[in-house]
Amino acid sequence: MHSIYSALARLGLDQQISVTTTHSLTVLATSFPPSAGSFRRDLLPYITPLINFLNKTDSPFLINAYPFFAYKADPKRVSLNYVLFQPNAGVVDATTGLRYSNMLLAQVDAVVAAIGAVSGAKAVEVQVSETGWPSAGDQDEVGATPENARQYIVNLMKMVAEGKGTPMRPASPLQVFVFALFNENMKPGPASERHYGLFKPDGTPAYDLGVEVPVINSTDKDGGSDDDFSPPSFGSITAGSYLTFSSAKQN
């Protein structure tokens, strides 16, 4: 990572391109309450210098967060509404008094707290590099349904489009990357692993997101070009508001 960053700096691209890497939530030893978030002790020799690097280069810490796994593990104790961004009583962190209306924000803030506990580098931004919900699964994978997947993604898009941050960082809009565009029908493991896509391998929707996608032609009958194309919309939300496929830093 140091070598890549140095190469970018020599080309004058270090302010446009972030150098970072993704992490599973299993890097955390504690994630609840969020304020008690901490990294596993065996990973500290690797995590600490990484965080120092990210802090120095103004690059984000990337986390793959899947509330589905928590619900799947204990559906009797974990509220489905809480993980699907639906109306619910929320969960209050007794230490900070902060209320969490959904699990994803709680997971992100657990990482924020863990970063602060390691180096005090509270300025390191945390982004969600992967999140999603499977539209199908094995018999023991409770909650893996098309309707739950639709609710998760639609409500996630609405939340991100509002430009709000987490309870710990309310002024910093949360950046989120949805996993995945297509179902991976040949991926091994539980059936859910093959059903995270917004689309099936043949290109048809895995479930209805309510997003209208117009047909795009290189040249229409009036001689127009793709320059006239408007992105698909979700109500009053443009696609660019909630879905990003860029590694470039925002100005």
From 56, 125, 164, 184, active-site residue: 184
Q: Are 176 and 160 in contact (CB under 8 A)?
A: yes
Q: Are 162 and 117 in contact (CB under 8 A)?
A: no
Would residue 187 show up in a list of annotated catalytic residues for this protein? yes
Residue 161 is inside which H or E element, if any? helix 146-161
The single-letter DSSP state of residue 198 is S
Integer CA distances (angstroms), 190 to 138, 140, 160, in order: 7, 10, 29
Three-state DSSP at 241 gives: helix
User: Side by side, which strands form the sheet with 22-24?
Assistant: 22-24, 61-64, 126-131, 176-178
Give me 81's structure tokens. 């509404």
Q: Are 176 and 85 in contact (CB under 8 A)?
A: no
From 158, 164, 187, 249, active-site residue: 187
From 130, 141, 200, 221, active-site residue: 130
AA letter at 15 = Q
Backbone torsions φ then ψ of 237, nearest 5 degrees: -100, 125
Bridge-based pairing state of the strands 38-39 and 28-30: antiparallel
Backbone torsions φ then ψ of 11, nearest 5 degrees: -90, 0
From 158, 164, 193, 200, active-site residue: 193
Would residue 212 show up in a list of annotated catalytic residues for this protein? no
Residue 131 is inside which H or E element, if any? strand 126-131
Would residue 130 show up in a list of annotated catalytic residues for this protein? yes
Active site residues: 130, 184, 187, 193
